[in-house]
Amino acid sequence: MVLRKILTDAKIVEQKSLAKDIFLMRLHAPDIAKAAKPGNFLQVKAQRGTTLLRRPLGIAEARGDDVSLIYRKIGKGTAELAAMQEGEIVSVMGTIGNTFNLNLKKPLLVGGGMGLSPLLFYAEYMKNASVLMGARTSAELFWEELFSPFVKEIFVATEDGSKGEKGFNVAFLPKILQQGKYDGIIACGPDPMMKKAVEIAKEANIPVEVSLERRMGCGLGACLSCAIDTKSGRKKVCKDGPVFDGEEVFF
């Protein structure tokens, strides 16, 4: 289901650093918070920013009248967002996109890096999931504290071995699937991670959904900048996604 889009100015009610170059921004946006569902994203920019295009950011939380975004400062647009203070105004367009499967009885979330952000919203909404999270180092595992109130189990892998299993998180996915009878996998993160998760899920005969992260222009399906090839033809991540059947996507 594609939800109605709202264009609004939202006040920053919280802006804090979670790790190096990673921030949580909470916005007072009642209409968007009410409409939001797990999987949706927003297009945002600083009200007085110098960038022309908005930045697509997955919704990490929607509570009461507020929505939260967790993002990494990686370019001019996100740098302008990171420099903003509580009380300042962000221009927001949303909600955009479809939703994850909200009917799973025992989902396993597989996320890497900032791909864990939209999975957090799903975890809080469902309260029946387990999560396999991957990070480069233990310093980026602030996610554990955020997920712990809402999930049944947390599995951790770090590339440097500083916490949990050493290596990429999907390397341990087969073992986890053998230990628990999951009825679906929800994945978001780097394309190679999601591609491997889809392959493993197929071997285990478990359905998998992936949330794609792509550069976007308009966010309305007009500019084609986020178009991808799928087994069903050309699709737009902003209009047809960002959530897709994992086996439909060409990574």
pLDDT digits (tens, 9 = 90+) for 185-219: 999 999 999 999 999 999 999 999 999 988 887 77
The answer, as to whether pTM is greater than 0.85, is: yes
Q: What is the mean pLDDT of residues 93-119?
A: 96
Angle subtended at Cα 34 by Cα 15 and Cα 54, rounded to the nearest 5 degrees: 50
The rounded distance, in Å, linking the Cα atoms of 173 and 168 is: 10
Evaluate if residue 3 carries a pLDDT over 60.
no
pLDDT of residue 9: 95
% of residues, the chain, pLDDT over 90 = 86
Q: Which residues contact 234 (CB under 8 A, 6 or more apart)?
A: 227, 228
Mean pLDDT (the chain) is: 94
ω before 95 within 30° of 0 (cis)? yes
Q: How confident is the model at residue 2 (pLDDT cuts 50, 70, 90)?
A: very low
Q: What is the mean pLDDT of residues 51-60?
A: 89
Evaluate if residue 46 carries a pLDDT over 50.
yes
| CA quadruple 212, 213, 216, 220: dihedral sign | positive
Q: How confident is the model at residue 50 (pLDDT cuts 50, 70, 90)?
A: confident
% of residues, the chain, pLDDT over 70 = 98
pLDDT digits (tens, 9 = 90+) for 131-167: 999 999 999 999 999 999 999 999 999 999 999 999 9
Angle subtended at Cα 25 by Cα 106 and Cα 77, rounded to the nearest 5 degrees: 110
pLDDT of residue 26: 98
Residue ranges of domains in the chain, CATH in brackets: 6-96 (2.40.30.10), 107-211 (3.40.50.80)
pLDDT of residue 1: 41
The rounded distance, in Å, linking the Cα atoms of 158 and 140 is: 9
